[in-house]
């Protein structure tokens, strides 16, 4: 194999690679020899088919497979020999006019990661803003849970049912005067205005009192899943046992026990733990932003444009999605368009910080264990359809960049925790409002990489996304390279590509389908 460097400009590299025809032919011959014992052909004993006939039968597919494998091996060898660290998937093209029996001429172009010295980990000073959990926050959480746990009490027998009241009813549904299956229930609860039953059912019970009996007429929706009822007019004989009104939920021992707990004290303890966890997360976010700001301020070096492009694309997609949800999408989009250059600078900052964190982690032995990686893979696989999960797992096992992207967030957190341990940290107790204000101030500052950037008249969703871009979860990819939009090699005779990165596109998560309606088992008027 012959390698010539054709470009060496900054972080850009390009090479021409020649794979001799003799090398490809030797690989084809070896492959034919390998598979010959498994080839079956009429007139020959198993394993005795001559090599020339095997070549005649399977030569094209073997040649395609060998060329692809040889290209992959050649590129891997190039990376090792030149000690290249690709920022993204290299672009590989097989020269035009290639045919069997000719040398394979490849062009390989890529961007490499910059050579960095791991930043010093001493001298980092951080302030940890802590918030004690106030009883009022626990009380607020308790009240929120209580508001979600509705309880009912019987109203006076003269009470007429109104929106929000609950009826306890018996009903029997009839189609053409004949009771139909699934159209009957006893002492069924029905909240007026809840939309629980088919249109028209609840409305006709408004004003009903305990003890009332009435027959109502309703028409099932055309798309009702039970075909024999879809679009049909039916009647329901209804008896009202009770009219109930919502009762105030008392936060006491009985309330805690209704939630499956032993006591109100235990419930308060659990809620206090949740609030503490939330506040600790905010504290960590604020401290992490301080750390990243210090790293960003102390380092400036060229970063691969392709990585910046990929990062910017992620930010931009998020901006457009948020702009589309604004009251005036057009105005929001115009605003973020006017700040496009600033968001590109944010993307550049994110990439630079990711590379810095990667160097720190590698220099200090920060690693993701095999057990941690297995857990990450299993968790990530759950977002895919069951039939795609094995393909996703195989992709992660065989594609280094896909694996790196998966472990990047956890790797970054471990590097940050390592730096926290090295840092000189002072604690300051603040209120929740002060902590949130500090985080928002950091967001605004980080979202303004351009010194002369003007504050927009209206805070658009773009601002939020920009802040997220520099968030602890945004300045990531410590170890990962953003998903490469690689240019595939010009179509070789190979039937499958040299890499398996495209498998990822096939292993897409299942789309969230609208749940299919199904007939109610015991309540025909109820709609799913």
208 by Cβ neighbours in 10 Å (0-12 / 13-18 / 19+) ranks as buried
Q: What confidence score (pLDDT) does residue 146 get?
A: 87
DSSP string, 429-488: E--HHHHHHHHHHHHHHHT--STTPPPPSS--HHHHHHHHHTSTTTS--SS--PPP-PPP
308, 365, 335: which is closest to 461 by C-alpha? 335
Give the tokens for residue 400.
Answer: 């280094």
Specify the pLDDT at position 444. Answer: 60
Contacts of 282 (CB under 8 A, 6+ apart): 131, 432, 435, 436, 439
Burial 45-57 (b: 16+ CB within 10 A, else e): eeeebeeeebbee
C-alpha dist (Å) from residue 219 to 34, 222, 235, 523, 525 = 71, 9, 9, 15, 10
The phi-psi region of residue 237 (left if phi > 0; otherwise alpha if psi is between -120 and 50; otherwise beta) is: beta
Locate 13 and state its tokens.
């590299």
**What are the tokens at 277?**
């966890």
Handedness of CA 77, 83, 89, 92 (dihedral sign): negative
Label residue 243 exposed, middle or buried (CB < 10 Å: 0-12, 13-18, 19+): buried
Specify the pLDDT at position 445: 60
List all residues 6 or more positions away from 151 whose beta carbon is below 8 Å from its beta carbon. 246, 247, 248, 249
What is the per-residue pLDDT for 448? 54
Whole-number Å distance between alpha carbons of 255 and 260: 9
Using an 8 Å Cβ cutoff, are 165 and 192 in contact?
A: yes
Helix, strand, or coil here: 47?
Answer: coil
- Residue 478: what pLDDT? 38
On whether the CB atoms of residues 476 and 354 are closer than 8 A, the answer is: yes
Task: Kindly list the averaged pLDDT for each block of 10 residues, start to end, along the chain of length 528.
Answer: 92 94 91 82 76 81 91 93 91 89 92 89 93 93 86 90 94 93 92 90 94 94 89 94 89 89 94 95 95 91 93 94 92 92 94 93 93 94 91 90 88 95 95 91 59 38 42 41 35 33 33 33 38
From 287, 292, 339, select the one nearest 315 (Cα to Cα): 339
- Distance, CA of 415 to CA of 357 (rounded, Å): 7
**Residue 499 burial (10 A CB sphere; 0-12, 13-18, 19+):** buried
Is residue 467 within 8 Å of residue 396, measured between CB atoms?
Answer: no
* CA 402 centroid distance within chain: 14
Q: DSSP readout, 216-257?
A: EEEE--TT-SSTTTTT-EEEEEEEEEEEEEEEPPP-SHHHHH
pTM, 2 dp: 0.64
* Sequence-ordered strand ranges (E) for 248-330: none
Give the pLDDT confidence score for residue 60 in this predicted structure: 87
Q: Are 204 and 240 in contact (CB under 8 A)?
A: no
Instruction: Confirm if 492 and 380 have CB atoms less than 8 A apart.
Output: no
Of 351, 386, 344, nearest in space to 477 by CA: 351
Q: At 280, which helix (H) or strand (E)?
A: helix 264-298
Q: Are 481 and 404 in contact (CB under 8 A)?
A: yes
Residues near 302 by Cβ (< 8 Å), separated by ≥ 6? 10, 11, 114
Q: Are 90 and 108 in contact (CB under 8 A)?
A: yes
- Helix, strand, coil content of the chain in percent (nearest 5): 45, 20, 35
Contact of 129 with 435, CB cutoff 8 Å: yes
d(CA 195, CA 416): 50
What number of other Cβ atoms are within 10 A of residue 359's Cβ? 20
């Amino acid at each position: 194999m012959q390698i010539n460097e054709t470009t060496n400009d900054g972080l850009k590299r390009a090479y021409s690679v020649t794979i001799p025809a003799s090398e490809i032919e030797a690989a084809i011959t070896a492959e034919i020899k390998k598979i010959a014992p498994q080839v079956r052909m009429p007139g020959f004993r198993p394993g005795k088919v001559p090599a020339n006939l095997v070549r005649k039968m399977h030569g094209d597919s073997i040649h395609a497979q060998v060329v692809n494998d040889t290209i992959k091996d050649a590129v891997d060898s190039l990376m090792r020999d030149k000690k290249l660290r690709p920022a993204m998937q290299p672009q590989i093209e097989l020269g035009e006019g290639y045919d069997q029996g000719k040398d394979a001429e490849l062009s390989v172009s890529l961007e490499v990661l910059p050579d960095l010295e791991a930043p010093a980990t001493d001298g980092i000073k951080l302030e940890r803003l802590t918030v004690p959990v106030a009883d009022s926050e626990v009380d607020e959480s308790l009240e929120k849970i209580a508001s979600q746990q509705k309880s009912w009490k019987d109203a006076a027998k003269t009470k007429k049912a109104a929106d929000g009241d609950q009826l306890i009813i018996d009903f029997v549904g009839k189609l053409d005067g004949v009771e139909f299956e699934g159209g009957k229930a006893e002492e069924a609860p029905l909240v007026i205005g809840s939309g629980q039953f088919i249109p028209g059912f609840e409305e006709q019970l408004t004003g009903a009192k305990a003890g009332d009996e009435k027959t109502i007429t309703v028409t099932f929706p055309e798309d009702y899943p039970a075909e024999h009822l879809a679009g049909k007019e039916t009647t329901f004989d209804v008896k009202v046992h009770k009219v109930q009104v919502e009762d105030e939920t008392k936060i006491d021992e009985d309330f805690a026990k209704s939630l499956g707990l032993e006591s109100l004290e235990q419930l308060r303890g659990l809620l206090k733990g949740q609030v503490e966890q939330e506040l600790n997360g905010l504290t960590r976010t604020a401290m992490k932003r301080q750390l990243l700001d210090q790293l960003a301020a102390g380092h400036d070096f060229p970063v691969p444009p392709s990585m910046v492009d990929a990062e910017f694309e992620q930010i931009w997609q998020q901006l457009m999605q948020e702009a589309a949800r604004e009251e005036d999408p057009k105005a929001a989009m115009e605003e973020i368009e006017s700040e496009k250059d600033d968001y590109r600078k944010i993307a550049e900052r994110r990439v630079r910080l990711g590379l810095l964190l990667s160097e720190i982690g590698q220099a200090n032995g920060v690693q993701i264990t095999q057990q941690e990686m297995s857990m990450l893979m299993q968790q990530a696989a759950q977002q895919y359809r069951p039939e795609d999960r094995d393909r996703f797992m195989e992709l992660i096992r065989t594609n280094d960049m896909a694996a790196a992207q998966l472990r990047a967030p956890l790797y970054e957190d471990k590097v940050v925790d390592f730096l926290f341990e090295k840092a000189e940290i002072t604690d300051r107790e603040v209120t929740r409002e002060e902590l949130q204000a500090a985080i928002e101030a950091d967001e605004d500052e980080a979202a303004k990489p351009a010194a002369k950037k003007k504050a927009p008249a209206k805070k658009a969703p773009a601002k939020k996304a920009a802040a997220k871009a520099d968030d602890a979860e945004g300045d990531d990819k410590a170890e990962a390279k953003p998903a490469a939009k690689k240019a595939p090699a010009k179509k070789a005779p190979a039937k499958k590509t040299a890499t398996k990165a495209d498998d990822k596109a096939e292993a897409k998560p299942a789309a969230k389908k609208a749940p299919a309606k199904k007939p109610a088992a015991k309540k025909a008027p109820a709609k799913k």
